[in-house]
Chains A and B, each alone.
Chain A
Amino acid sequence: MPSRWKIWAWRLLLIAVLLVAWQIASEQSPLMKFLFGAPIAIANRLWIWWSSGTIYRHLGITLVETLLSFAIGCGLALVMGLWLALNHMLGAVLDPFIKAANSMPRLILAPIFAVWFGLGIWSKVALGVTLVFFVVFFNVYQGIKDVSPVLLANARMLGASRRQLIERVYIPSALTWVFSSLHVSVGMAFVGAVIGEYLGSAAGVGYLILQAEGTFDIDTVLAGIIMLTMFALILDSVITVVEDALLVWRPKPQN
Chain B
Amino acid sequence: MATKALVLRDIACTFGTYTAVDRATLELGGGEFVAIVGPTGCGKSTLLNVAAGLLHATAGQVTVFGAPLEGINRRAGYMFQQDALLPWLTARGNVALGLELRGTAKREAAERSDRWLARVGLTGAGDRYPHQLSGGMKKRVALAQVLVLGPEILLMDEPFSALDIQTRQLMENELLDIWSADRKSVFFVTHDLEEAISLADRVIVLSSGPASRPIADFAVDIPRPRDVTEIVQSPRYLDVHRRIWDILKKEVLKGYAQGKVA
Contacts and interface: CB of A to CB of B under 8 A. Distances in A.
B80 A155 contact: no
Contact of B83 (A150, A153, A173, A251): A150
A154 B130 CA distance: 15
Contact of A158 (B49, B88, B97): B97
A154 B73 CA distance: 12
Interface string B51-64: 01010000000000
A182 to B, nearest CB: 16
A157 B83 contact: no
Nearest to B101: A159
Contacts of A156: 54, 72
B89 A249 contact: yes
Contact of B78 (A153, A164, A168, A250): A153
Given A150-B84, A251-B131, A157 B76 contact: yes
A172 interface: yes
In which size bucket is the chain B interface? 20 to 34
Report whether over half of chain A's contact residues are helix, strand or loop; otherwise say mixed: helix
A112 B86 CA distance: 45
B83 A168 contact: no
A148 B54 CA distance: 15
Contacts of B129: 248-250
A61 interface: no
Contacts of B97: 155, 158, 168
A151 interface: yes
A147 to B, nearest CB: 10
B86 A153 contact: no
B54 A169 contact: no
Contacts of B89: 249
A157 B82 CA distance: 15
A249 B87 contact: yes
Given A172-B86, A176-B88, A249-B88, A159 B131 contact: no
B84 A154 contact: yes
Contacts of A168: 86, 97, 101
A153 B80 contact: yes
Given A153-B54, A248-B129, A159 B80 contact: no
Interface in A5-30: none
A154 B129 CA distance: 17
Interface in B20-76: 49, 52, 54, 72-74, 76
Nearest to A160: B101
Contact of B98 (A153, A158, A161): A158
B189 to A, nearest CB: 15
Interface of A: 148, 150-151, 153-161, 164, 168-169, 172-173, 176, 248-251
Please provide the 5 A-B residue pairs with the shortest distance between their CB atoms, ordered closest to farther: A158-B98, A154-B84, A249-B129, A251-B131, A157-B78
